Amino acid sequence: MPVEKIKSAIRDIPDFPKKGIIFKDITPVLQDSLLFKSSVDELSKRVTDLNPDFICGIESRGFIFGSAIAYKLGIGFVPVRKPGKLPYEKHSVKYDLEYGSNILEIHKDSFFKNAKVVIIDDLLATGGTAKASAELVEKCGAKVLKFLFLVELLFLNGRDVLKNYSTESIISF
């Protein structure tokens, strides 16, 4: 299935989560089994040759794609969570995003030393969340092979924040 079909299913939600933001809603892609499968297949083929040890998914929509890709590749999945969600010893990073700031956390024992990790999320905007996730992976002693996104908002220049990493998206607006 062509990427254009996936792109055309993504809808704009104005003024969410706050006035002036146009939210790119991927829910229609998830609801359609063929579009969801095509999205997972397309994302998976972009990392298979890297032979990662883990897929790391960013809360929350990164969990959806990341866990499916990890399953497809037969490797482990590690979540990066918002504060207060992880029960074990964790690393934390505070970061800025397009409409505020937040904190992300990861379990300290998420990876073995020098593990090869691909970080996945649904959307690249300003890059703050992704960069914080890379910091967490690196605090655990692992290496970020690549960032992979379903959607990228080019006008927000998130790649500039991730310039030291390989970054790819399959759909751009």
pLDDT band (50, 70, 90) for residue 1: low
Residues 6+ apart with CB under 8 A from 1: 34, 35, 38
Query: How many whole angstroms separate alpha carbon 132 and alpha carbon 148?
Result: 15
Query: How many whole angstroms separate alpha carbon 70 and alpha carbon 54?
Result: 7
Residue 22 domain flag: no
Instruction: Establish whether 46 is a catalytic residue.
Output: no
Residue 2 domain flag: no
* pLDDT average, residue stretch 115-132: 96
Beta bridge pairs of residue 104: 93
Residue 71 domain flag: yes
Residue 146 domain flag: yes
Mean pLDDT, the chain, whole residue set: 96
* pLDDT average, residue stretch 73-91: 97
* Whole-structure pTM value: 0.95
**Among the options 61, 81, 105, 152, which is catalytic?**
61
pLDDT band (50, 70, 90) for residue 146: very high
Residue 13 domain flag: no
Residue 104 domain flag: yes
Residue 118's nearest CA partner among 172, 76, 160 is 76
How many structural domains does the chain have? Answer: 1
Q: Determine the pLDDT at residue 98.
A: 62
Q: Determine the pLDDT at residue 101.
A: 84
Instruction: Establish whether 105 is a catalytic residue.
Output: no
Residue 144: give the domain boundaries: 50-172
CA 35-59-66 angle, to 5 degrees, is 45
> Residue 60, preceding bond cis, omega within 30 degrees?
yes
**Among the options 42, 59, 98, 168, which is catalytic?**
98
What is the percent of the chain where pLDDT is above 70?
Answer: 98
Residue 42 domain flag: no
Q: Determine the pLDDT at residue 155.
A: 95
* pLDDT average, residue stretch 53-63: 97
Beta bridge pairs of residue 103: 94
CATH code of the domain containing 69: 3.40.50.2020
* pLDDT average, residue stretch 75-95: 97
Residue 4 domain flag: no
